[in-house]
């Protein structure tokens, strides 16, 4: 089981497990691109930013679970989903257009609440 570490001064180190069974090609391409630094902006309860990784659609969807990390297809986006977004139609986070499942955050995602952006380092875990 591969993990990634999300590191920033505001959040410390957060661990997430790659969804290698759900989206193996997405996870492999993302893993090979690490480490990455990304500037994240806020959209509702989502942090998102562009990463230099080009990944094809793989089990894409728009609605995710709280604590999921998605790869947004339309903008090569890295998306941390920790609550409702402006596109949500329920309590679940929803992207504006489809994205691939990428990872699941381990632990409490409320640490992201209230952030207006984030300079994030993404590194390989185990």
Give CA–CA dist 68/78, Å, rounded: 11
pLDDT band with cut points at 50, 70 and 90 for residue 1: confident
Domain 3-124 - what CATH class? mainly beta
Query: pLDDT tens digits for 10-69?
Result: 999 999 999 999 999 999 999 999 999 999 999 999 999 999 999 999 999 999 999 999
CA distance 23 to 36: 20
d(CA 125, CA 5): 6
pLDDT digits (tens, 9 = 90+) for 56-112: 999 999 999 999 999 999 999 999 999 999 999 999 999 999 999 999 999 999 999
In angstroms, rounded to a whole number, what is the distance separating the alpha carbons of residues 59 and 4? 21
Q: Please answer whether residues 106 and 6 qualify as being in contact, where contact means their C-beta atoms are separated by less than 8 angstroms.
A: no
User: What is the spatial distance between Cα 55 and Cα 45, in angstroms, rounded to a whole number?
Assistant: 24
* Domain definitions of the chain by residue range: 3-124
Length of the chain counted residue by residue: 126
pTM of the model: 0.96
């Amino acid at each position: 089981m591969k993990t990634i570490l999300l590191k920033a001064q505001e959040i410390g180190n957060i661990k997430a497990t790659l969804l290698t069974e759900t989206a193996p090609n997405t996870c492999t391409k993302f893993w090979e691109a690490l480490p990455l630094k990304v500037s994240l902006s806020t959209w509702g309860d989502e942090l998102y930013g562009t990463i230099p990784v080009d990944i094809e659609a793989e089990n894409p969807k728009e609605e995710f679970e709280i604590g999921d990390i998605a790869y947004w297809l339309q903008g090569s986006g890295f998306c941390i989903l920790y609550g409702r977004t402006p596109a949500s139609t329920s309590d679940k986070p929803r992207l504006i257009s489809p994205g691939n499942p990428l990872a699941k955050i381990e632990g409490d995602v409320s640490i992201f609440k209230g952030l207006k952006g984030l300079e994030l380092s993404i590194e390989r875990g185990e």
